[in-house]
Amino acid sequence: MMKKSIIKTLAFGAIITLAFAACNDQWNEHYQVKSELNSTETLWDIISKKGELSEFADMLKRTGYDNLLQQNRYYTIWAPKNGFGYSEANDSLLQVEFVENHIADYRYNASGVLSENQVKMINGKYTYFEGAGDAYTFKGKKLVAKNIPAKNGVLHIIEGYAPFTANIWEQLAKVDSLSEINSFLKSFNVNYFDQEASVQGPIVNGQITYLDSVVTLRNEWFNRIGYLAREDSSYYMIAPTNKAWRQMYKKALTYFAYPSTKAGGDSLQRLNAATAMCRHLVFSRTINRLKVTDDPRTKDSLSSNWHQTRNAAYPNKVTFRYDEYKNLYNNLVEKDDLSNGTLFVTDTYNFDPIKCWHDTIKIEGEDFINIDGGSNVNTDIVTIPRDSVNLYRHISRGSYGVYAAKQSSGNPKLEISINKVLSAPYLVKCVFVPANILDRTAEPKQNTFNVQLKYVETDGKVKTLSMGSNITNWSDSCFNRLDTLVFIPQKTEEAHSYFRFPTNEYDLTGSEIGQTKLIITSSLKANNKVGDRTFRIDCIILEPIDEETFVEPINDEEGGDDEGEGGE
C-alpha cells in the first residue's frame, strides 16, 4: 500500500510539474524575446518608421504606448493605416477605446483558416479575427499587411479602424441623458491595484516599478445587480433618463424620511432613495432565457437580478409578469445593443414602489416567541402536519405561535417588534388561528383585546397610537378558519384604515432599533369565563398601500374584518 501511494504521489507531482511548465511557457512567450523573429527591432521601431502608420504612432505616443512597445512584453497589433478618421480629445478614452482596442497579448498570426476566432484585446473586449489565404479581417476590417515580425510581437496593418463597442457600464457614461443614474452608480467605484497580478520591473531609486500594472475596478453594485463591466456577462438593463430619475427620486425620498434626531439622516435619506430606485433595473440574460426573439417583451416573465446583501448566495429577485414588465419599457427613447447586453433608455421611471421597495412586512407568530410577551405569558409553537395539506397551505410557513395567560384570570400582553418600516402607509393586520384548527372537539372562544402602535415621530420621540379597543375576533359561527383583522388607527386627523409611518427604520443603530412595536393586550375581566385568554397568531402583516389608488375596506366590526384567510 505504501508503494502504491508513493507512485500516485509521484504521478500527481509530474502532472503538476507539466502544468506549471505549460504556464511558464505561455508566460515566457509573453515576456521573452523571440529569437526566431526580427531580433533587432521592436514593434515601436517598426511602427514609427512606417509612414502609413504615422497617425496611429501619434496616438501611441499620446498614451505612452511608444515606451511600452519597446519592452519585452509580447503583443499582437492590428494597426490602422493613415486616413482612418478617428479622433478623441480625452487621452484616457483614447487609450481604452482606440489604442487598446487594437492590441492583444500573445501572438496571433494570420495563417490557416480562422473561423469564428475571438481575440481578447488588452482593454478586455473580444474581437473577431477571421479569414483564410489572402482574405483576413479584424472586426470586419481587411488586413492589407500581415505577420510583420518584431522581437517583441507581430504586426498586422488593417484598412480602417476597429470601432469600440461599449458594455452597459461604459454606455451609461456615454448617454448624456443618463448622467444622474451614472453618477450615482459610479460614485461607488474603487480602483484597486492588484500587485500580485502586475508584472514587476526594475527597481528605480529604491522603488519597485512595474512593466504591467493591473488595476481592477471594484464597485459594490456589481455584487448587487450584476457585473455590468464584464465582457463575459450578459444583461438587460432599463435606465431612466435624468428627467425620469428626478421625477421618481422626489417621490422615493418620501419613503426614507428620518427623525430630526438622526445623525446624517438627510444623507441616508438620499442614499436609500437612490438605492431603492436602482434595485430592479437589471436582468440576467442567462436566467431570463428568451423564447423567440432577443427582446424581453416577448417573454412570459422577467426576473430581476437584485441581491439584498453583498454576499447573498441568491438574488432577492422580483418577477414581473408580461402585463407588468411590458410597461417597464413605456416611453422608450433609445435601445443600445452592447458588448455584454442591451440597454433600454426610458423617459419615465415605470417601476412600482410597492413592487420594488415598499415591501410587505411580515412577522411570523412563531418568531416573536421568546422575544416579547412578558413574564405573564406562556408561549408555544404549533406546527401543522404536512399531511393536512389544506391547512398547511393556508398557515404561513405551516406553523403559528400560541400565547396563554399563566393565571386563569390573567390577561396576556404581547409587544411585537416591527423592523424596517418605511415612512409610508401600511395596513396593519393580524391573522388569528382558532382553537379548533386541528382539534375539532376543542371549544372555540372569542378573544377580546386592545391594540396599540408605538412609532417614532419626526422629532424623534416615540408616540403611542390606539388601534382599537375591546376588539373581538370570531364574530361569526365559522370557527374553523383563519380570521384576518385590520387594526384601524383611532383619533387621527384623517380617518383611514391604514397608518402612514412618519419615519423609516433603515440604517438604524443601537437604541434606535426596535422602537416600533405593535402591542396586543387581552382585555377580559377577571370573572369572564366565556372569553379566550390565549392568543393563537399566525402572523402580523404590514401591507403597503398606494394612497392615490387605495380603496377603504368595508369592515364587519370596528377595528377588524373577517377575511377568512391569512398567511401567504
Q: Report strand pairing: 413-417 vs 425-432.
A: unpaired
CB atoms within 10 A of CB 209: 11
Q: Which residues contact 6 (CB under 8 A, 6 or more apart)?
A: none
Which run of H or of E encompasses 250? helix 242-253
Q: Which of 115, 149, 153, 150 is nearest to 135 (CA)?
A: 115
User: In the 3-class helix/strand/coil scheme, how is 93-145 assigned residue by residue?
Assistant: HHHHHHHCCCEEECCCCCCCCECCCEEEECCCCEEEEEEECCEEEECCEEEEE
pLDDT at position 109 is 96
pLDDT at position 559 is 41
First to last CA, the chain: 60
Q: Which of 430, 254, 488 is nearest to 358 (CA)?
A: 254
pLDDT at position 205 is 78
Pairwise CA distance, residues 236 & 296, whole Å: 8
Long-range contacts at 268-272 (CB < 8 A, ≥ 24 apart): 268/506, 268/507, 272/504, 272/506, 272/507
Cα separation values, 160 from 56, 114, 477, 503, Å: 11, 20, 84, 60
Cα separation values, 403 from 366, 408, 428, 479, 529, Å: 10, 13, 20, 19, 18
Pairwise CA distance, residues 138 & 125, whole Å: 13
Pairwise CA distance, residues 290 & 297, whole Å: 9
Counting beta carbons within 10 angstroms of the beta carbon of residue 433, is it exposed (0 to 12), middle (13 to 18) or buried (19 or more)?
A: buried
pLDDT at position 506 is 87
Q: Which residues contact 331 (CB under 8 A, 6 or more apart)?
A: 244, 346, 347, 348, 350
Sign of CA dihedral 185, 191, 192, 195: positive
Contact 487, 559 (CB under 8 A): yes
Cα separation values, 86 from 80, 96, 170, Å: 10, 14, 19
Grid coordinates representing 181 are 443614474
pLDDT at position 22 is 43
- Is residue 561 classed as helix, strand or coil in its secondary structure? coil
Q: Which of 431, 433, 372, 404 is nearest to 522 (CA)?
A: 404
Which run of H or of E encompasses 361? strand 361-364
Which run of H or of E encompasses 486? strand 483-487
Query: In sequence order, what are the beta bridge partners of 12?
Result: none
pLDDT at position 565 is 37
Counting beta carbons within 10 angstroms of the beta carbon of residue 529, is it exposed (0 to 12), middle (13 to 18) or buried (19 or more)?
A: exposed
Which run of H or of E encompasses 223? helix 220-225
CB atoms within 10 A of CB 137: 18
One digit per residue, the tens of pLDDT, for the chain of length 568 reads 333 332 333 333 343 344 434 444 444 444 444 444 446 899 999 999 999 999 999 999 999 999 999 988 899 999 999 999 999 999 999 999 999 999 999 999 999 999 989 999 999 999 999 999 999 999 999 999 999 999 999 999 999 999 999 999 999 999 999 999 999 999 999 987 666 666 677 777 777 776 666 677 899 999 999 999 999 899 999 999 999 999 999 999 999 999 999 999 999 999 999 999 999 999 998 887 654 455 655 657 888 998 765 444 455 778 888 778 888 989 999 999 999 999 999 999 999 999 999 999 999 999 876 454 456 788 899 998 877 767 767 888 889 999 998 888 889 999 999 989 999 999 999 999 988 888 877 878 889 999 999 999 999 999 999 999 999 987 555 556 788 999 999 976 667 899 999 999 988 888 888 899 999 999 999 888 889 999 999 999 999 999 999 988 665 444 443 333 333 3
